[in-house]
Amino acid sequence: MKSLTRPVLIGDGIVGVSTRHHLTQEGWSEVVLAECDELTSGIAWHSAAQVTNFATNQTMAGLESLSIRPCKKLAEDPDNPINDHFGDGGIRLAITEAQMRGHRHFASMASAMDVHFEAIDAEECARRHSLIFIKSLMGGLRGPREGGLDPAQLCLAFARRARGASAEVNRNMPDLGLTRNADDSWSVHAERSDTDCDVVVNACGNRVNDVAIRNA
């Protein structure tokens, strides 16, 4: 690894690769990635990868809608094909009036963030999806931008872009160690070299707490 850099990202799942891509887009050229195994060898590889902008509050609905944009842009790139179903739409069903009220509330709340959802009746649910039976169904909440994609292909597409922007990638690096220095900078210790940096991004998925605690 380089001996001196700005951020070291640890973990090459969707969080690591998209952070790497976005930092290089922001002009950070000295980005180093360290992964204990291979690209997308963590949770991102076997995720169901439904893409939603449904959330429990307005801010998250807005943020999730923004996060769909770069994925869609990458999916449209003929050099980085991604199997996707953007915009197929999703429906959350409601079998009680209280659930329908919740759906109407969300649709109204989301519209303030320019995020479109609509509360639809049972007949419209069945018209939209042939496997929906309307017996006992009050209706549903339809999100027209929801869909899904192949998570491993998305990771690859982000990784290719960041590689094009000259981020340094180090894979198969188990047993990374971290030391926080007196001036608040970090030293990242690998088997054969050490790297000093200002910022460490811990993107280790479900290992994130282990890595943080081990190096606290």
**Residue 15 C-alpha from the chain's centroid:** 6
Between 13 and 139, CB nearer to ligand FAD: 13
Contact range with ligand FAD by CB under 6 A, out of 12-20, 21-29, 69-77, 80-88: 12-20
Between 104 and 205, CB nearer to ligand FAD: 205
19-48 residues near ligand FAD, rule: CB under 6 A: 34-37, 41-44, 46-48
How many whole angstroms separate alpha carbon 109 and alpha carbon 101? 12
How many whole angstroms separate alpha carbon 211 and alpha carbon 169? 19
Q: How many CB atoms lie within 10 A of CB 117?
A: 24
Among 1, 8, 9, 14, contact with ligand FAD (rule: CB under 6 A): 14
Question: Where on the phi/psi map is residue 56: left (φ > 0), alpha (ψ -120 to 50), or beta?
Answer: alpha
Q: Is 120 in the site for ligand FAD (CB under 6 A)?
A: no
Per DSSP bridges, beta strands 147-148 and 50-51 are antiparallel
Between 130 and 206, CB nearer to ligand FAD: 206
How many whole angstroms separate alpha carbon 141 and alpha carbon 92? 5
Q: Is 162 in the site for ligand FAD (CB under 6 A)?
A: no
Between 14 and 125, CB nearer to ligand FAD: 14
The distance of closest approach from Cβ of residue 52 to ligand FAD in the complex, given in angstroms and rounded to an integer, is 7
Per DSSP bridges, beta strands 32-34 and 4-10 are parallel
Contact range with ligand FAD by CB under 6 A, out of 86-94, 124-132, 162-170, 203-211: 203-211
Handedness of CA 145, 149, 151, 156 (dihedral sign): negative
Among 25, 29, 50, 57, contact with ligand FAD (rule: CB under 6 A): 50
Between 18 and 24, CB nearer to ligand FAD: 18
